[in-house]
Amino acid sequence: MQSHQKVTACPPISTHTMKRIFYILLILGISFSAYGQDEFYNRLSDAALNLTKDVVTYDPSYFKIPYPNGDVPKDKGVCTDVVIRAYRKLGIDLQKLVHGDIVANFSRYPKKWGLKHTDTNIDHRRVLNLMVFFSRKGEVKPMTENASDYHTGDIVCWDLGGGVTHIGLVVNRRIKGSTRHLIVHNIGGGQVLSDCLFMFKIIGHYRYK
């Protein structure tokens, strides 16, 4: 004689239990998201640090370069090229992205150079244009004198005086015994790692993914 097992439905989950499950999933989601963000910016930091291994002469000359994914000669560059090259190592082409935004929003970008049209050779290599792009497409962060406000992967812009601007990337290395991160930049001596966060007047602080 065949036995018959009694099949019962799953007991109902209480509202309290469902709320607990929801909050646990929410917390896990936030944690995974934060981990992904940290991973991206650490990769960006590593990309910037790898650039310091290249021998680069500071050269602000105008170069005709391919589009998209164009770059000036590997042994030449300026401060903006550090940021452009670091992002490109992660598959993000600022040349194309900045050009696209300038085409769509030409009036929002500086006219300091008297340009009446876009130029894929140089637009993305100008600090002021990158500042507009990062403020529109990224996260604008406070400009403070507190080192702990500057994190791995942040982009910082400075005024060097006399109308000269500068840009660099915050990396995941700190001054020993300090919360102050080091910067990868090119201010004339090639793509280098240095302690220059508060050396000049900060005029921009961004985060972009």
* Cα dihedral 134→205→72→68 (10° resolution): -20
**Residue 103 pLDDT:** 97
pLDDT per residue over 81-128, tens digit each? 999 999 999 999 999 999 999 999 999 999 888 888 999 999 999 999
**Residue 20 pLDDT:** 65
Q: Strand 155-161's sheet: what is its strand order?
A: 139-140, 201-207, 155-161, 164-174, 181-185, 192-194
**Residue 92 pLDDT:** 98
Residue type at 132? V
Q: Where are the beta strands (DSSP E) in 59-154?
A: 76-77, 139-140
Model pTM score? 0.83
Q: Domains in the chain and their CATH numbers? A: 57-207 (3.90.1720)
Euclidean distance between CA atoms 186 and 37, whole angstroms = 26
**Residue 18 pLDDT:** 55
**Residue 21 pLDDT:** 53
Q: Which positions of the chain have pLDDT values less than 50? A: 1-11, 24-28, 30-33, 35
**Residue 116 pLDDT:** 87
